[in-house]
């Protein structure tokens, strides 16, 4: 089974490390399409505010945009779990579980 994400560790100029994910092209294309649509929704909401559109209609659009953002987060979280987390656990890096808990807590704040 193909790993949906490949994670490389890079090193910055100051010597600290950073992690990079490599999404398959089809996932990147899907995420980019979704994010472009969200960007358009945000511009649309701004335009609605500028045009003094009825508050309830603006709130409905904000809710739709939040749902779209949550969808992107779910896709990324699934890839992270199936790729990054599984790989790091198999390498004995159990601290990834603590990182995962923090990530999920961030998602649940909303």
CA–CA distance, 73 with 67 (Å, rounded to integer):
10
Nearest to 38 by CA among 73, 4, 5: 73
The C-alpha atoms of residue 86 and residue 6 are separated, in whole angstroms, by 11
C-beta atoms surrounding 84 within 10 Å: 21
Q: What's the CATH superfamily of 25-108?
A: Metal-sensitive repressor, helix protomer (1.20.58.1000)
Average confidence (pLDDT) over 17-27:
82
Average pLDDT of the segment spanning 15-27: 77
Q: 2 in helix, strand or coil?
A: coil
- Average pLDDT estimate for 25-31: 95
Encoded tokens for 98: 């603590």
Coil, helix or strand for 12? coil
Taking only the tens place, the pLDDT of each residue in 47-67 is: 999 999 999 999 999 999 999
């Amino acid at each position: 089974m193909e790993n949906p994400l490949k994670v490389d560790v890079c090193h910055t100029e100051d010597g600290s490390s950073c992690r990079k994910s490599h999404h398959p092209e089809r996932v990147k294309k899907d995420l980019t399409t979704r994010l472009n649509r969200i960007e358009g929704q945000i511009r649309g909401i701004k335009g609605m505010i500028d045009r003094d559109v009825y508050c309830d209609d603006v709130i409905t659009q904000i809710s739709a945009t939040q749902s779209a953002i949550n969808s992107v987060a779910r896709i990324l979280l699934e890839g992270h779990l199936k790729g990054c987390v599984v790989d790091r656990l198999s390498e004995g890096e159990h601290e990834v579980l603590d990182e995962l808990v923090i990530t999920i807590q961030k998602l649940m704040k909303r």
